[in-house]
Amino acid sequence: MTSSSTSKFFLLSFILCILFQEHTHALKKTYIVYLGGHSHGPNPSLDDLDSATNSHYDLLASILGSHEKAKEAVMYSYNKHINGFAALLEDEEASKIEKNSNVVSVFLSKEYKLHTTRSWDFLGLEKDGGISLDSAWWKARFGEDSIIANLDSGVWPEHVSFSGIGYGPVPSKWRGNGVCEIDHFITSSNATTFCNRKLIGARIFSKNYEARYGNLNPANLTARDFIGHGTHTLSTAAGNFSPDVTIFGNGNGTAKGGSPRARVASYKVCWSKTDVAGCHEADILEAFDHAINDGVDVISTSLGGSDPYVEALFTDGISIGAFHAVAKNVVVVCSAGNDGPGPRTVTNVAPWSFTVAASTIDREFVSQISIGGKHYIKGASLSKGLPSGPSKKIYPMIHSIDARFLNATIQDARYCKPRTLDPSKVKGKILVCTRLHETTSIAQGFEAALAGAVAVFVINDEKSGSLLLAEPHPLPGASMDANEDDDIDEREWFGKGGTDNNITRRMLAYMSASTTYTGLKPAPIMAGFSSRGPSAVQPLILKPDITAPGVNILAAYSLGTSPSNLPSDPRRIPYNLQQGTSMSCPHVAGIVGLLKTLHPSWSPAAIKSAIMTTASRLDNTNQPIRDAFDKISTPFEYGSGHIQPNLATDPGLVYDLNTTDYLNFICASTHSQNLLKFFNETSFTCPEYYNIENLNYPSITVYNRGLNTINITRTVTNVGSPSTYVAQAQHPEEFKVYVQPNSLTFTKIGEKKTFHVILEVASVPPSGFPVFGSLRWTNGNHIVTSPIVIL
């Protein structure tokens, strides 16, 4: 063989070797092996942790053949409160592990997606810039020394919202040991620089993300937020009072979180190499294990899976993490998802999770849109308006369908997708796009700017309803509901049909500078994007649990990214307006922080009950809450209703639950006694029969089983003064509600009373389901309300 032939042979062999190795690696996926709880108790020693990890290696070695291979495969050993591990495995290896009798579940690690100056005024914690004496803020000392953890995209540590000035020593319950993984965090001096007495800890979890997308640049292995989402949500939950906040001159006021004096910790589980963040289950579960061990009081998780049908109790990382957190007295607040308005889209539906929907507040950012000089439409906008044009400040409009390249489809052009707009048709005009049912249309604004438009009007699609989102477009822009003006034919004026005679070609329009208005009525309105119930996993647990502000929310933002999250956007702002159940979730987490400070002995279920049973189903006009399509909303949209934090501090009665109740629920859900031995440190035996309808949940959901009567039980615990409560019912359509006994007398705090709710079919056979009603207990000072749903 010649020297040249030899070289070619070795080169070919090397390439084939590399390809084979890459193929072999590609066969391996990140699996989570869940083993339940640990036997070492709530305060494990280092030896306990080592023993747990070694047991994980032993289990995996029995499949892979050696400890060395097991150690190489294991990504995370969940050795503190959650028992299990994440490892790179082939499908066949995962199947073998699943057959082990000591394993609860084995499942692929899924990729999750990330699901204010005025909010707290709207929720009653302050009024016209002042804080009344009956505010939950005063009662709970502004959440002082509660510790709120945020599982998200990190934090911008220098932001004034997280300044440690004016705080006392870190609470002794914090066990984070000074971990502050921000930037070059190897030295302790940097930890002192970036973390403080407010931001008391920061951790990163990236192994699953890197296993899927490749190694991150070492400079990016930091809890610093380069997406903006984590900074926004964490400051909403517990940011400091920060005066003189605006966004492009709009919304002037003082930003603050729900528990502005709470301590915060950031657990970075969401990473990005592009404009879309990825949050991976194995990373999330490790973050849960650390947060529980660090001693936090509240965990806020504004993320979730995009497909609720694949979610199950113990093949879902958030459900597993939340179960173990709640068992250790940590409240876990989750976003419901942004996949509405269709039914059965709600995610994070475990009964131990606190699931939050999104609704509006009474503030709007408005520009007046003039079309043809005689029609005026309200547009949601943060823009300074259009500059003076060649003819009385008006500009020609063109719909994106008419502005498309010849090779672009009508469907893509309607939504102003990349490479669909012809600059020769757009330049100097106002471009009209249709919203692509998302919580942001900023990318459409960038496409408009690239094509030379002077402004962009984004028309709501059929799934958005009348909800108007104000967004930081790179050019003057507005979100519009074209159906607002009855004289306007949407198809004709805005080119919905894409016809050649589209008159946007010859229409002239103008947009004024945006103005901030408060006191808007009606409010709240349920957001079209907010995911709806019933739960696809377990319909007998009403989800979502509650609704809170999640539309046009102004909060702190990262200077490491633009307000649009687009790489081409050079802007940097310290506060940003965002939308989604990601924003409503930390509102509730902040309020939970207040209740943790005020009632430190209450269980997670008691805190959840206090918030749910004091919620309102009425808007600020005293009418039933409606949705973005002007229909009366139901508990499938808002759960128990709109959160009222001042009332939640003193609910009168609570529906309490403990780990045993949840284990009973698991028994009824899984029908497997064998699984239960892994969840408790002590032995647990499933009851012979358990009816999930009798889980002591603050809402009541039952199946219509064709019976004349349905009988369920609930137990309430008195957390107020001695008094007598009387039952009142709003009867579901074609049903009667009876309560036995219909009055309950309490003589002391902590006293429990059990009652029966009897649902009886009326004389007319039920015509359709679901139907809704409510039960409330009142003593003259308190009203304790539970929604009733008959499926």
Catalytic residues: 152, 229, 582
Query: 3-class DSSP state for residue 772?
Result: strand
| Maximum CA extent, the chain | 101
How far apart (Å, rounded) are the C-alpha atoms in residues 377 and 364? Answer: 14
Beta strands in 605-664 (DSSP E): 626-627, 653-654
User: CA dist 296 to 146, 266, 656, 748, Å?
Assistant: 8, 11, 21, 31
Of 488, 449, 466, 284, the residue nearest 379 (C-alpha): 466
Cβ proximity of 284 and 305 under 8 Å: no
Query: Position of tokens 């509006």?
Result: 360
Task: Determine how β-strand 477-480 pairs with β-strand 375-380.
Answer: antiparallel
Are 32 and 321 contacting, i.e. CB atoms less than 8 angstroms apart? Answer: no
Residue 235's alpha-carbon distances to 71, 198, 205, 239, 266, in angstroms, are: 38, 11, 21, 4, 11
Phi, psi for 652 (deg, rounded to 5): 85, -60
List helix spans (H) across 651-711. Answer: 659-670, 673-676
Helix, strand, coil: what percent of the chain each, to 5?
Answer: 25, 25, 45
Number of other CB atoms surrounding residue 173 within 10 Å:
12
Q: Do the Cβ atoms of 202 and 155 come closer than 8 Å?
A: yes
Q: For the sheet with 270-271, list strands across it.
A: 270-271, 278-280, 111-114, 303-304
588 vs 123, 303, 550, 626, CA distance in Å? 11, 14, 11, 21
Query: Strand, helix or coil at 432?
Result: strand
Q: CA–CA separation, 44 vs 477, rounded Å?
A: 55
Residues 6+ apart with CB under 8 A from 485: 375, 376, 377
Find the Cα–Cα–Cα–Cα dihedral 715, 718, 719, 720, rounded to 10°: 150
Q: How far is CA 500 from CA 402, 496, 504, in A?
A: 8, 11, 10
Specify the 3-state DSSP secondary structure of 398.
strand
Q: How far is it, in rounded angstroms, from Cα 297 to Cα 600?
A: 9
Spatial contact of 485 and 377, defined as CB atoms under 8 Å apart: yes
